[in-house]
Amino acid sequence: MEKILLMLKNEQNKKLLREYLSQHYQVFLLNDHFPPEQDLLIVDGPGFRAYQEEIRKLKNQVHPLFLPSLLLTTKKNLRSYQNHLFHEIDELLTTPIEHLELLARVKTLLKTRTLSLLLEKEAITDPLTGLFNRRYFLKQGQRELLRSRRHRWPLSLLMLDLDYFKKVNDVYGHSIGDQVLIRTARRILDSIRDVDIAARYGGEEFVILLPETDAKGAMLVAERIRENIANQPFHLSPSLALSITVSVGVATLKHSFTDLHELIDLADKALYEAKKKGRNISFNLNL
């Protein structure tokens, strides 16, 4: 059920909106213990003046996703909010409130948010594995790198490549190869934290960014992923179980690095060394 946060100073508006909306949505007031994610903000004129910074903060927290806001105002004060349209305010509704008009505006804004979420997910997700795509990884990874430099926190990156994957495609076909990639992605996700960022980098190559993780910690994660993939065959059909292994290159942020590609290049070199040493191992140039 969608969550609506009411940022209202007018007591009559609070009473009416709770009555109108609570039958269809979860409704919270700003002074409630409201959930960290909302689907819609509704604010009245006095509330807008009082909570303008809070509205901007809530919208920025979900950027680049769309958190819609509906302003309740009188016709007399309508024009005074025109400079805030498309920033803090996305839709206007004049008071006194008409029940059906309110529900129609709310429904439209929530539908727009749902479409925005779907489009955003498609834009940042690899369609086969469900992991993040390369474009999102590079963008978010650069942010994490700058954040780590600013706070002097460690940051590590894993580059993972499936061993002899071409043979899988050649012998069993690309549909089986796709299933191997999908199962690999699942085991990666099962092996990392929610704050870690895993992406399909290209072909059979995956990358994982590990915030606040030093070289030794990164090696532990790399080995956990490698073992989770190698120790249990992929059961792709009742008659087909494939034993898959991966090689992992591990890199940790150096003080001189200012660009994510420097960290990626270091992990790529470590991956090359892992391949040279026989595959199915994790290797870190920093250790």
How far is CA 122 from each of CA 5, 66, 97, 106, 204, rounded to the nearest angstrom? 27, 15, 37, 25, 20
Is 204 one of the annotated active-site residues of the chain? Answer: yes
How far, in Å, CA of 192 to CA of 132, rounded? 14
Laid out side by side, the sheet with 282-284 consists of: 197-202, 205-211, 155-162, 246-252, 282-284
* Tokens linked to 242: 């494939």
Active-site annotation holder among 204, 212, 227, 273: 204
DSSP summary character for residue 125: B
The answer to whether residues 124 and 200 touch, using CB atoms and an 8 Å cutoff, is: no
Is residue 43 classed as helix, strand or coil in its secondary structure? strand
How far is CA 62 from each of CA 14, 70, 89, 109, 131, rounded to the nearest angstrom? 25, 17, 15, 16, 19
Catalytic residues: 204
